[in-house]
Structure 1
């Protein structure tokens, strides 16, 4: 007799850490996986009709919550409504743990969020979490713009009100890192903000001034801030050996979106986990002309994937990788969105279909070559 707090998922294709089981079952009790078997289940449970059963995805970097709150330039949506819509999109993409990326530093561009916006969003996330409204588990990723005049004040103020779990050191100054080519930066910025060439040129001058004044000292202070609060530290858009060496010295654990093969190889060799974007995999390359994720995967340099600006891309990219890179099988590809990010974030209780782990589980059906999320369980509770 199946107990009330038990879930038995049967007739599934299980993606385990080291292999795929064509016909298997998983038993869950009290939010944990207690047994995994092959063949027929010991009792009747939820028949998955041969669909894939995979661990819940873990998203370390997505700025999608800001897109729900600021859907158009100068348009602010109700913060709780924005958070709930964002959470629903995250969960239906198969993501059971998400690090909400909140930009800290208000000198970024014309469409950046203000200090008050940061509090509106973070307080709405905290209220929804405490009220039990959220489907996914939400944690905090502060995306710190090192050249911004107020980045330190905002980070300290945030930490006084909410926990901080992950910090990325970003520098989007035109001519730096991701945007070494000023022409590409102008096209990106003008298109994103519906700005004129004159406005873009003025912002370039302003950003260069802020970079000269703030970047070095703010980065140093933010590294100390991360260590003080026990937050995982990430670098962003590293492109040179010198930038990787700085990341190593700072105790960085994650290299977000390195822009060159050299930087990715140096990060990987230093034990820093290399992250690339899911859209980069699905689209076959970077939208800003930097190194392709597939190229890194072929060299064994790809450790983590992030959905970045398209939540659904996380699952699509994981299923796409083995099709394009013969040395990567499905369990290895899925590890880039499950077990590897769990380890990188210090979350050792999730990320794999293994006995004793949290029952964060996703049912995936393949429609042609496209993975479709059909059901999601977080800690044994069905959330979508």
Structure 2
């Protein structure tokens, strides 16, 4: 797909610091230009917005492994997922792949297939894809190999998780979902229970091991975050290791501790669009209201990013520019992507156009290349 050199005229453009205003947005050679470039496209009736930057999403799992054996070519699954990203206005997508004791789609062997495929496909697809590894903290036997694997797979973003059911394991009780989880991973449930007990027993050794691992990864230039923090103490411990991104804090106290420490906070867009957490955690919309959010992420549902930004605006929690900034400029900044997230001269031409009547995605452009285009707007592009 060639790069467009066009002037989008008549639409409502979201300009930095100015909000929506009818005007012209010009792009050429993959960048936003200050002056018209020549070819006009009428986009009246559409909102012209910065492309969506998804700071964390694992919704691609159903594309790379819909059913056992249905997608033997992981690259084709990534390409299919990229089409869904584009259809939802996403121009940069962090694809979060588990490296977990859970096994199956979340196990180390599958990560070894998916992450290199993301790195390979990003060079031929339009949407900018960023691989992220979600690493389970109690897998001590895997710590030594991790830095080398990240380098081999082209991964420079790691988020630490701990999904072990520690309360039940501490009592020697079987987790409720053990049997189903074991069968999904192709394991005997009793062997799975033994594995979880062994991992839980690693607990006293984990903090010091994480200290050393984080130091190695930081020297390697790896961006690091932590997932599902419950308290201010949790955030302080991760910050001390140099792990500065707080993904999906479960309480206001954890989110506030991140903000007061200068650490960016990512919240789940599905939490906003549904009106609350499905796990009973703090409301993401309330944290946005309190100013404790830097970015929204798709989590497991790509359409929720656009829908969440619009809901925040419609519910009066914040103005349109602020709401859209949580899915564009905010995530771009926390990912260190200073070349996108705003419609300003010199920035990448990462753009999404929404039909003003329906507020659905009509077109998506990444660095001036069309990744998605439909309906009446497509006819205008081709006229």
Using the size of structure 2 for normalisation, the TM-score is 0.85
Kindly tell me: are residues 342 and 47 of structure 1, through their superposed partners in 2, closer, same or farther at Cα, counting changes over 3 Å? same
Partner of 1:165: 156
Are the aligned partners of 2:47 and 2:353 in contact in 1 as well (CA < 8 Å)? Answer: yes
- Aligned pairs (5 A) from 1:210-225: 210-213=199-202, 215-225=206-216
* Structure 2 residues without counterparts, runs of 5 or longer: 373-383
Give, in angstroms, the shift of residue 307 of structure 1.
0.3
Kindly tell me: are residues 59 and 200 of structure 1, through their superposed partners in 2, closer, same or farther at Cα, counting changes over 3 Å? farther
Kindly tell me: are residues 68 and 155 of structure 1, through their superposed partners in 2, closer, same or farther at Cα, counting changes over 3 Å? farther
Give, in angstroms, the shift of residue 348 of structure 1.
0.7
| 2:324 pairs with 1:329 | no
- Which range moves more in the overlay, 218-227 or 329-338? 218-227
Give, in angstroms, the shift of residue 380 of structure 1.
1.1
Cα distance in 1 for residues equivalent to 2:361 and 2:244: 30
The count of corresponding residues between Structure 1 and Structure 2 is: 362
| 2:288 pairs with 1:289 | no
Partner of 1:348: 338
Cα distance in 2 for residues equivalent to 1:331 and 1:97: 19
- Which range moves more in the overlay, 279-288 or 153-162? 153-162
Cα deviation code 1:234-269 (max 9, x no counterpart): 111111121011022122231100001111111111
Cα distance in 2 for residues equivalent to 1:186 and 1:347: 41
Cα distance in 2 for residues equivalent to 1:76 and 1:175: 35
| 2:109 pairs with 1:116 | yes
| 2:40 pairs with 1:50 | no
Cα distance in 2 for residues equivalent to 1:281 and 1:374: 23
SS at match of 1:247: helix
Cα distance in 2 for residues equivalent to 1:311 and 1:346: 22
Give, in angstroms, the shift of residue 8 of structure 1.
0.8
Cα distance in 2 for residues equivalent to 1:265 and 1:245: 11
SS at match of 2:360: strand
Using the size of structure 1 for normalisation, the TM-score is 0.85
Are the aligned partners of 1:173 and 1:208 in contact in 2 as well (CA < 8 Å)? Answer: no
Give, in angstroms, the shift of residue 288 of structure 1.
1.1
- Aligned pairs (5 A) from 1:221-300: 221-300=212-291
Give, in angstroms, the shift of residue 383 of structure 1.
1.7
- Within the candidate set 66, 72, 94, 1:71 is matched to 66
Partner of 1:338: 328
Give, in angstroms, the shift of residue 116 of structure 1.
3.4
Give, in angstroms, the shift of residue 151 of structure 1.
3.6
SS at match of 2:299: coil
Are the aligned partners of 1:10 and 1:44 in contact in 2 as well (CA < 8 Å)? Answer: no
Are the aligned partners of 1:13 and 1:20 in contact in 2 as well (CA < 8 Å)? Answer: no
- Aligned pairs (5 A) from 1:363-374: 363-368=353-358, 371-374=359-362
| 2:370 pairs with 1:382 | yes
Are the aligned partners of 1:91 and 1:383 in contact in 2 as well (CA < 8 Å)? Answer: yes
Kindly tell me: are residues 248 and 122 of structure 1, through their superposed partners in 2, closer, same or farther at Cα, counting changes over 3 Å? closer
Partner of 2:27: 28
Give, in angstroms, the shift of residue 309 of structure 1.
0.2
Give, in angstroms, the shift of residue 293 of structure 1.
0.2
| 2:219 pairs with 1:207 | no
Partner of 2:300: 309
Are the aligned partners of 1:71 and 1:77 in contact in 2 as well (CA < 8 Å)? Answer: no
